């Protein structure tokens, strides 16, 4: 059986699909990379796919390169994933998105005879895919009680994931205000380069007692079902990682509820 494959059609088709998948990864993992960077990753993936297609090699090797080799290069070029954990999450989201996107496209299969319709349907399919991921993320975050929080300090904003801990009743003994806890990495990203001059408060955990530096920031915006603005909240700075899996970088005081 004889097939004719046009390399330009193969390139542009893969470029669109790869770019849409990388956009999904960027959205789910909340990577702060420009859209042009994502399109660059899609172009790189499409070029590599064309090379694998035209260069003679065993079928098994082509499958391995397509599944993991090209996908890895795409993720590195398009959304700048560098660490092993980031790669694991990225490759998982990429594969699940590809599975869902192909399933959605199958629904529109009878209407894909024209090339222009294919591109239009692909964009619509991506919008459906993004909606599915958003719904899944909202359900997951609700179950884990993780919210998005924007912190403002000295004119700089930093977005973090925060866990509402009903067991956190830490308060400032002087002002009697609730204290929310962030990790050291987040503190440095906000511009808190040194702990010199900060006031310390005592705290108690299941592992023992200690003291923690606290700082007052300009504003904290908690984005849940209803957006909550907290003016001049007090943050405690933890010297250790708050979450071993890095799911969140902040613990909200239960009084915020």
pLDDT digits (tens, 9 = 90+) for 35-44: 899 889 989 9
Round to whole Å and give the CA distance between 135 and 141: 10
> How many angstroms from the chain centroid is the CA of residue 163?
16
Confidence of residue 231 (pLDDT cuts 50, 70, 90): very high
CA angle 172, 250, 216 (to 5 degrees): 40
* Lowest-pLDDT choice from 6-20, 31-45, 218-232: 6-20
End-to-end CA distance of the chain: 67
- The set of residues, in sequence order, having a beta carbon less than 8 Å from that of 89 and lying 6+ positions away, is 29
pLDDT reported for residue 144: 55
pLDDT reported for residue 80: 86
Mean per-residue pLDDT over the chain, rounded? 81
Res. 47: pLDDT tops 80: yes
Round to whole Å and give the CA distance between 160 and 137: 15
Round to whole Å and give the CA distance between 247 and 231: 25
pLDDT reported for residue 40: 93
pTM for this predicted structure: 0.51
pLDDT reported for residue 139: 58
* Lowest-pLDDT choice from 143-152, 192-201, 207-216: 192-201
pLDDT digits (tens, 9 = 90+) for 69-113: 888 888 899 898 878 888 888 888 888 888 877 777 777 666 655
Percentage of the chain beyond pLDDT 90 is 11
Beta strands across the sheet bearing 219-223: 199-205, 208-216, 234-238, 179-183, 250-253, 156-165, 146-153, 219-223, 227-231
């Amino acid at each position: 059986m004889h097939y004719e494959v046009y390399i330009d059609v193969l390139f542009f088709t893969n470029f669109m699909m790869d770019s849409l998948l990388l956009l999904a990864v960027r959205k789910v993992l909340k990577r702060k990379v420009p859209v042009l960077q994502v399109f660059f990753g899609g172009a790189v993936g499409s070029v590599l796919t064309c090379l694998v297609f035209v260069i003679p090699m065993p079928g098994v090797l082509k499958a391995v390169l397509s599944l993991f080799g090209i996908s890895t290069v795409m993720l590195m070029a398009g959304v700048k994933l560098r660490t092993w954990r980031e790669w694991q999450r990225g490759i998982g989201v990429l594969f699940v998105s590809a599975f869902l996107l192909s399933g959605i496209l199958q629904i529109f299969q009878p209407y894909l005879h024209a090339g222009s319709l294919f591109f239009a349907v692909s964009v619509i399919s991506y919008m459906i895919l993004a909606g599915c991921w958003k719904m899944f993320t909202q359900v997951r975050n609700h179950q884990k009680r993780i919210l998005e929080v924007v912190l403002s300090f000295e004119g700089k904003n930093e977005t973090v994931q925060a866990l509402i801990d009903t067991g956190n009743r830490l308060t400032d003994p002087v002002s009697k205000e609730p204290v929310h806890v962030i990790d050291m990495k987040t503190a440095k990203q906000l511009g808190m380069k040194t702990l010199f001059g900060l006031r310390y408060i005592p705290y108690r955990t299941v592992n023992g007692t200690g003291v923690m530096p606290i700082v007052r920031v300009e504003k904290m915006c908690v984005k849940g079902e209803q957006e909550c603005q907290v003016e001049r909240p007090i943050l405690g700075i933890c010297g250790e990682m708050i979450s071993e899996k890095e799911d969140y970088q902040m613990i909200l005081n239960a009084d915020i509820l």
